[in-house]
């Protein structure tokens, strides 16, 4: 074999091994979670509220709490993030755009607990109680910069010639953005939203200071709210084996939820043309 082929084989094998290593770790984590959690998984576990040790109990209220807070956070974070990202990509060439971009980049790197403390000071202390709303706000703050930056990058990938094609037909700028650029970037933007959703669904720290947690089903915005991650935390730090198993099972549910949301998003925003 000549040296070019040898180099080629080495490079192929190295990258393949790296790829398998990454996927392998993921498979190990997922199977270990399933192995540990599947024994505690049952219908009761999925619908009941937490109970004292030995009396069963589940994560029903935590699932609902996580979904409600994720929904509220997305309702706030997705439109703002997409709007800011679109602004940056279409009009953000000046000093203002540069500043916003820098701030967004910095916020992405800020540890999530900081957002929790921020909302704690700004909302929880002012109102005097932990609440669903405070939790959702903290999550929304985490989502916005992630969605902003991915939206900007994905929107910038839309070819300039496509924009010019629409402008040349007498389309005003705002219609070009709305009718041509955003639809063309949709699946990329969806990826950004998914990243943000997966990130906040797995957040615990910012919720400890804001939504706090709850042992009951709750749908009110001005009361403390349970969440899967905080429930996992509570189960996991307890000294009881039974609760440890519940923590594994809850983790399994959390991962499953992220997977389900991911697949749904992909399907809804799939490329049609």
Partner 1 sequence: MSKISVTDLNFYYGKAQALYNISIEIPEREVVAFIGPSGCGKSTFLRTLNRMNDTIPLTRAEGKVLIDGEDIYRPNTDVVKLRRRVGMVFQKSNPFPKSIFENVAYGIRINRIHSDKADLNGRVEKALRDAALWEEVKDRLQSSAFGLSGGQQQRLCIARALAVQPEVVLMDEPASALDPSATQKIEELVVQLKQQYTIVIVTHNMQQAARVSDRTAFFMLGKLIEYNPTQKMFTNPDEQLTEDYITGRFG
Asked if 179 interacts with partner 1 (CB under 8 A), we say yes
| The only residue of 54, 128, 170, 239 in contact with partner 1, by rule CB under 8 A | 170
CB count in 10 Å sphere of residue 234: 18
Count of H-run helices and E-run strands, the chain: 13, 0
Of 190, 217, 193, 209, whose CA–CA distance to 66 is shortest? Answer: 217
Of 228, 270, 263, whose CA–CA distance to 45 is shortest? Answer: 228
Contact 254, 37 (CB under 8 A): no
Asked if 183 interacts with partner 1 (CB under 8 A), we say yes
| The only residue of 47, 83, 180, 258 in contact with partner 1, by rule CB under 8 A | 180
H helix or E strand, kind and range, residue 5 = helix 3-37
Asked if 221 interacts with partner 1 (CB under 8 A), we say no
By rule CB under 8 A, what count of residues binds partner 1?
A: 22
Asked if 268 interacts with partner 1 (CB under 8 A), we say no
Report the residue number, 53 or 162, with the smaller CB distance to partner 1: 162
Asked if 272 interacts with partner 1 (CB under 8 A), we say yes
Report the residue number, 166 or 258, with the smaller CB distance to partner 1: 166
Asked if 169 interacts with partner 1 (CB under 8 A), we say yes
Asked if 165 interacts with partner 1 (CB under 8 A), we say yes
Distance CA 224, CA 119 (A): 14
**H helix intervals, 38-158:** 43-47, 60-91, 95-109, 112-119, 125-127, 132-156
Asked if 166 interacts with partner 1 (CB under 8 A), we say yes
Distance CA 129, CA 141 (A): 20
Provide the minimum distance between the beta carbon of 150 and partner 1 in the complex, in angstroms, as a whole number: 19
Beta-ladder partners of 50: 57
Q: In 3-state terms, what secondary structure has residue 258?
A: helix
Provide the minimum distance between the beta carbon of 190 and partner 1 in the complex, in angstroms, as a whole number: 14
Q: Which stretch binds partner 1 (CB under 8 A): 73-81, 99-107, 134-142, 166-174?
A: 166-174
What does the block give as tokens for 242?
A: 């039974």
Provide the minimum distance between the beta carbon of 256 and partner 1 in the complex, in angstroms, as a whole number: 33
Report the residue number, 123 or 184, with the smaller CB distance to partner 1: 184
Give the footprint of partner 1 on residues 2-61 (CB under 8 A). none
Give the footprint of partner 1 on residues 90-119 (CB under 8 A). 93
Distance CA 242, CA 238 (A): 9
Task: Give the residues lining the site for partner 1 (CB under 8 A).
Answer: 93, 159, 161-172, 175, 179-180, 183-184, 271-273
């Amino acid at each position: 074999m000549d040296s070019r082929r040898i180099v080629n084989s080495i490079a192929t094998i190295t990258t393949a091994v790296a790829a398998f290593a990454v996927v392998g770790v993921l498979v190990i984590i997922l199977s270990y979670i399933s192995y540990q959690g599947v024994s505690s998984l049952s219908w009761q576990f999925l619908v009941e509220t937490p109970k004292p040790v030995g009396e069963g109990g589940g994560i029903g209220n935590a699932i609902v709490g996580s979904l409600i807070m994720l929904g509220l956070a997305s309702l706030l974070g997705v439109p703002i993030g997409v709007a800011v990202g679109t602004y940056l990509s279409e009009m953000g060439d000046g000093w203002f755009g540069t500043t916003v971009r820098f701030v967004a980049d910095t916020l992405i790197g800020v540890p999530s607990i900081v957002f929790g403390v921020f909302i704690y000071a700004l909302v929880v202390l002012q109102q005097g109680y932990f609440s669903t709303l405070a939790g959702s706000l903290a999550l929304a703050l985490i989502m916005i910069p992630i969605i902003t930056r991915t939206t900007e990058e994905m929107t910038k990938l839309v070819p300039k010639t496509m924009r010019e094609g629409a402008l040349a037909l007498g389309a005003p700028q705002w219609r070009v953005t709305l009718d041509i650029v955003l639809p063309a970037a949709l699946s990329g933007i969806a990826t950004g939203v998914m990243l943000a959703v997966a990130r906040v669904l797995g957040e615990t720290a910012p919720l400890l200071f804001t939504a706090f947690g709850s042992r009951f089903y709750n749908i009110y915005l001005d009361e403390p709210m349970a969440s899967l991650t905080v429930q996992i935390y509570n189960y996991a730090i307890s000294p009881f084996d039974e609760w440890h198993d519940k923590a594994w099972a809850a983790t399994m549910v959390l991962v499953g939820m992220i997977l389900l949301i991911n697949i749904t998003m992909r399907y809804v925003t799939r490329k049609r043309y």
